Amino acid sequence: SQIADKTLRQSHKSWVSAIQWSPTDPFVLATTSHDGTLKVWDIRSSLPLHTVKATTAKGEKSLCLAFGDGFIYSG
């Protein structure tokens, strides 16, 4: 399956800095952005399943992410 870049950019408020496929679900991926959010997507939908602040400091960017042991890490 393909996911359109415009789908991710419309949801994030700034540049998407990292994309990672779920190691356990072929339909799920996560993205993180310079807007400081991490989003979890099901590629069968155009809307994110979850959105969380990846940083607590105002103006901080989220640059990377990784799946591991039931968590998604971002920084």
**Spatial contact of 33 and 16, defined as CB atoms under 8 Å apart:** yes
**Spatial contact of 52 and 71, defined as CB atoms under 8 Å apart:** no
Give the SS3 label for residue 74.
strand
Q: Report pTM.
A: 0.82
Return d(Cα 5, Cα 53) in angstroms, integer: 21
> What pLDDT, on a 0 to 100 scale, did the predictor assign at position 66?
93
* Tens digit of pLDDT at every position of the chain (75 positions): 555 556 666 788 888 899 999 999 999 999 998 888 899 999 998 889 999 987 777 778 888 899 998 899 888
